[in-house]
């Protein structure tokens, strides 16, 4: 039976169930803590304790808004206003401002709808609302789906920068290293960056690659890269996949290229817990540091009262 019930994870949380699958979502940041697609354990490498969630290290399943990825040195200028954001350990602002918000349940049925608002302050001088919908489903025989819809509405009286992303870390049942996993990325371009992962200036940031990128074995390859020029399949969506050759199982991220024309892949290097035991497949609405890029700053602007949305689906099959 489909249901959404109250739970706890330090603070408020909700548990979704559907066709033998379960997911746990915390109110803090509307963060996905776990997703068990009927296999007896989570294939999302989420936070294991409320303390981990509060610390936020690894950005596990973090919803990224109103910007995704890094902003160079945490500074940018918008309509003549200089913005300076709190910096992460690498000296850049990273992954938005939503992780510290406590979301409330707006609607519970077969899906879970959560909402929170940021009020304009000295850090981010634009108010915005974030609405998040989680849903579980089944597809073809033996496949399970978890979908997330993220919508950000500009509540300020002026045009404001709004980008969206999501940061799920994925692993296969039984755990283990990612060394023997396969990886498929349907992209024609890789975003080239500086040593600290800020995209290079202008067109020099985009390197053509053969599509799709297929790695039969990740091996010792260290990946923390954004890809664009995404290639839709016959159904018009982009499907980035990690495969386990030992079991024949696959975990895929499906995204709409019009909403999320960028996918970021990270092999989990540097995680304090479980380094290289999970792979992040992250849909982005814009390239990192979009607010500082002439090729992206125009599209990231959102008019007063307007909403930007992104839907992403994880499939275990």
One digit per residue, the tens of pLDDT, for the chain of length 317 reads 578 999 999 999 999 999 999 999 999 999 999 999 999 999 999 999 999 999 999 999 999 999 999 999 999 999 999 999 999 988 999 999 999 999 999 877 789 999 999 999 999 999 999 999 999 999 877 899 999 999 999 999 999 999 999 999 999 999 889 999 999 999 999 999 999 999 999 999 999 999 999 999 999 999 999 999 999 999 999 999 999 999 999 999 999 999 999 999 999 999 999 999 999 999 999 999 999 999 988 899 999 999 999 999 999 99
Q: Taking the CB of residue 196, how many other CB atoms lie within 10 A of it?
A: 11
Phi, psi (rounded to 5 degrees) for 170: -120, 145
What is the domain extent for residue 58?
A: 3-316
Cα torsion angle, 46, 52, 58, 59, sign: positive
C-alpha dihedral, 52 to 35 to 45 to 256, nearest 10°: -110
Query: Please, is 6 exposed, middle or buried when counting C-beta atoms within 10 Å of its C-beta (0-12, 13-18, 19+)?
Result: exposed
Query: Please, is 176 exposed, middle or buried when counting C-beta atoms within 10 Å of its C-beta (0-12, 13-18, 19+)?
Result: middle
Assigned token pair, 196: 């600290």
DSSP category for residue 207? E
pTM: 0.96
Distance, in Å, from the CA atom of 45 to the CA atom of 61, rounded to the nearest integer, reads 8
Distance, in Å, from the CA atom of 289 to the CA atom of 215, rounded to the nearest integer, reads 28
Number of domains in the chain: 1
Phi, psi (rounded to 5 degrees) for 119: -90, 140
Distances (CA, A) of 150 to 10, 79, 162, 261: 23, 26, 12, 15
Task: Kindly state the helix (H) or strand (E) to which residue 51 belongs, with its residue range.
Answer: helix 50-55
Q: What is the CATH number of the domain that holds 111?
A: 2.70.98.10
Phi, psi (rounded to 5 degrees) for 316: -110, 120
Tell me if 263 sits within 8 A of 283, measured CB to CB: yes
Distance, in Å, from the CA atom of 76 to the CA atom of 81, rounded to the nearest integer, reads 8
């Amino acid at each position: 039976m489909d249901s959404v019930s109250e739970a706890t994870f330090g603070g408020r949380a909700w548990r979704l169930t559907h066709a033998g699958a379960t997911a746990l979502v915390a109110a803090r940041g509307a963060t996905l803590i776990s997703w068990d697609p009927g296999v007896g354990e989570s294939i999302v490498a989420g936070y294991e304790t409320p303390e981990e969630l509060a610390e936020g290290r690894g950005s596990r399943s973090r919803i990224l808004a109103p910007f995704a990825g890094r902003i160079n040195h945490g500074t940018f200028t918008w309509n003549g206003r200089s913005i300076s954001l709190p910096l992460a350990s690498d000296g850049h602002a990273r992954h938005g401002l939503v992780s510290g918000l406590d979301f409330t349940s707006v609607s519970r049925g077969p899906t879970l709808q959560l909402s929170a608002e940021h009020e304009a302050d000295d850090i981010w001088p634009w108010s915005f609302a974030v609405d998040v919908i989680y849903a579980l489903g089944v597809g073809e025989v033996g496949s399970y789906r978890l979908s997330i819809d993220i919508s950000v509405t500009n509540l300020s009286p002026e045009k404001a920068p709004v980008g969206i992303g999501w940061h799920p870390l994925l692993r296969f049942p039984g755990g283990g290293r990612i060394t023997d996993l396969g990886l498929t990325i349907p992209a024609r371009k890789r975003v080239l960056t500086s040593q600290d992962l800020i995209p290079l200036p202008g067109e020099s940031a985009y390197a053509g690659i053969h599509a799709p990128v297929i790695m039969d074995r990740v091996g010792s390859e260290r990946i923390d890269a954004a890809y664009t020029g995404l290639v839709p399949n016959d159904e018009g969506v982009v499907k980035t996949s990690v495969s386990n050759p030992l079991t024949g199982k696959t975990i895929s991220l499906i995204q709409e290229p019009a909403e999320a024309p960028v996918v970021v892949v990270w092999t989990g290097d540097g995680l304090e817990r479980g380094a290289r035991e999970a792979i992040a497949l992250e849909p982005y609405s814009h390239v990192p540091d979009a607010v500082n890029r002439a090729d992206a700053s125009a599209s990231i602007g959102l008019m007063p009262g307007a909403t930007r949305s992104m839907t992403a689906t994880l499939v275990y099959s």
